[in-house]
A and B are shown apart, each in its own frame.
Chain A
Amino acid sequence: MIPLGLTPALPDAQYHRRELGLVSKSALDLVHRSPAHYKAWIDGSLEEEETPALHFGKAFHCAVLEPDRFASTYAAEPDFGDCRKKENKAARDDWRAAHAGRELISFGEHEMLLGMAASVRRHPLASKMIREGQPELTVSWRDEETGLQCKSRADYFVEKLAMVADVKSCLDASPDGFRRSVVKYRYHVQDALYRAGFAAVDAPVQHFVFIAVEKPRPHAVAVYTLEADGIGRGYSSAREDIDTLADCVKRNVFPGYPPGINELTLPPWAD
């Protein structure tokens, strides 16, 4: 159980433990897709994608926000060539034994992460946003309308600025590119949910900034905030998903996609 309020350094395993009816951004994304997907995720039967991407994301956060911990926790594994060959495999196993207890990432990824972290430190604004604050701060609260417990984890919270900074790795950090990411990954819902969480524990957040860092070199960095209208939309969507989740949990019914033939309308930008 995650304690209500603000908790720094909550172990990953405790934070990520799945619990029916516990609201998080990931849980709401699944409910938004369909409650059936959410239930499968809770039961462990959802075919999850992108495990390497999640691993990269975790390492990216560590490299940018906690560089010292990154240096002591992660180890860049050299390329040992074709490990079907006995000598290569032996060399790799020796190396791994020498680095037991470290998180292993490929040499290429390690280079990329160091480059991305350095790029953030060179950015005049982003570099100042991740100073004098708390990394990976967990906030947990109870949703007043449904009674469900909610959780979120701020990448970096700076109390004196009333600001949460959220670092995102992406392929395109341009305004147009990142706008698409906001819509695709529902970052506006994350913004609203996190604001609601901090407000609920009497630590209201005025600024929720996204520090977008491109994976490809030169690892360009851009900083974004959402306009109030976007946060409003995110809040409405989060509210709707929380209400749906509460209803599903109450009735113990987790429907999939709507039955019958559904007519599709094309978006306005389609040719």
Chain B
Amino acid sequence: MTQQIELDSKPNGAIVVDPDNSKSLNAFSSTSAFETSQRMAKALASSSLLPATFQGNIPNCMIAMELANRIGCSVFMVAQNMDVIHGRPSWRAQFLIATVNASGRFTPIRYRWEGRQGSDDWGCRAYAKDAKTGEECVGPLVTIGLAKKEEWYSKKGSKWQTIPELMLTYRAGSWWTRIYCPEFAMGMGTAEEAIDTWGESVSTTTIPAGLVPGSAKALESTLLGGADPVTGEVPMSDEEKRAAADAEREPGDD
């Protein structure tokens, strides 16, 4: 059963999380829904407001639509808050934490500091209260010493040395989310964690729009007969069109 989340209690209107997506379009529910989604993705892919990863890339836009559908927020927001680090899609920690805060299932995430600033034992835990039961949910301790031991501190592109306080809260917040609401991350890590683990990557968002590659699979399909070489859209076969028309026909029409 889908859980309904009250939207009225949001701290602000910036992020609206509504896991009740029964009214939303599920691209994979039927052939016609898929075709509609593909058209929507095509429109999105032609927008210059989306990051380069999504521009001209219909499959990426469809994935963003699917993720937005699942967590109940706008596609634009998903696209703006997803980074591709070494080929892995990752949320920005700030977005993940904001998503939890907006869900209404918990009180907004706060941080409890420990240790002395400037020393290795300096760090924080994220915590929040369950909105229904009032139970305090406390996350694991993240310290500078831990960041050093895990070698995040010295990774190329890491911000641990320049903005340690922010990095501590981001990591504590994303770990808290992973424990208490893993469904929001949907198996994806945060961009900050990805950089700490694999090192800095040139985010695809830094590529000028004109340099963004098209889908290699779409090109392959085109050359072997099929998809549009630029959009990647695969036209429906006559059989698929008939099946879609049948599916949309109301019972008793015949």
- A interface with B by C-beta (< 8 Å): 124-125, 128-129, 160-163, 192, 195-196, 198-200, 204, 206-209, 225-229, 231-233, 235-236
Contact = CB atoms under 8 A, between A and B. Distances in A.
Given A124-B224, A232-B204, A208 B210 contact: no
Given A206-B213, A207-B214, A236 B222 contact: no
A160 B214 CA distance: 13
B165 to A, nearest CB: 29
Given A163-B229, A206-B56, A192 B219 contact: no
A195 B207 CA distance: 11
B230 A232 contact: no
Contacts, number: 80
Contact of B216 (A162, A196, A225): A225
B213 A162 contact: no
A235 B216 CA distance: 19
Contacts of A235: 202, 206-208, 211
A162 B202 CA distance: 24
Nearest to A196: B211
B210 A232 contact: no
Contacts of A206: 56, 212-214, 219, 229-230
A236 B200 CA distance: 13
Contact of B208 (A199, A207, A209): A199
Interface of B: 52-53, 56, 84, 86-87, 201-204, 206-208, 210-214, 216, 219-220, 222-224, 229-230
Contact of A196 (B210, B213, B220, B224): B210
Main secondary structure of the interface of B (DSSP, over half): loop
Contacts of A209: 216, 219
16 contacts: A125-B223, A129-B223, A162-B229, A163-B219, A163-B229, A195-B211, A206-B230, A207-B213, A207-B214, A209-B216, A225-B213, A228-B53, A228-B84, A231-B211, A233-B202, A235-B211
A4 B224 CA distance: 35
Given A161-B223, A196-B208, 6 more contacts: A125-B220, A162-B214, A195-B210, A206-B229, A227-B213, A229-B202
Nearest to A232: B202
Nearest to B209: A199
B86 A229 contact: yes
B202 A208 contact: no
B160 to A, nearest CB: 20
A207 B216 contact: yes
B229 A228 contact: no
Interface-centre pick from A192, A198, A226, A231 (highest chain B CB count, 10 A): A231
A229 B87 contact: yes
B219 A232 contact: no
A59 B220 CA distance: 28
Interface-centre pick from A124, A199, A207, A236 (highest chain B CB count, 10 A): A207
Nearest to A204: B210
Contact of B213 (A200, A208, A236): A208
B84 A162 contact: no
> Which 10 pairs of residues, A with B, have the shortest CB-CB distance?
A199-B210, A206-B214, A232-B202, A228-B204, A195-B211, A128-B223, A161-B229, A225-B216, A232-B207, A204-B210
Contacts of B207: 192, 228, 231-232, 235
B204 A229 contact: yes
B27 to A, nearest CB: 23
B158 to A, nearest CB: 17
Contacts of A198: 210
A204 B211 CA distance: 8
Nearest to B85: A229
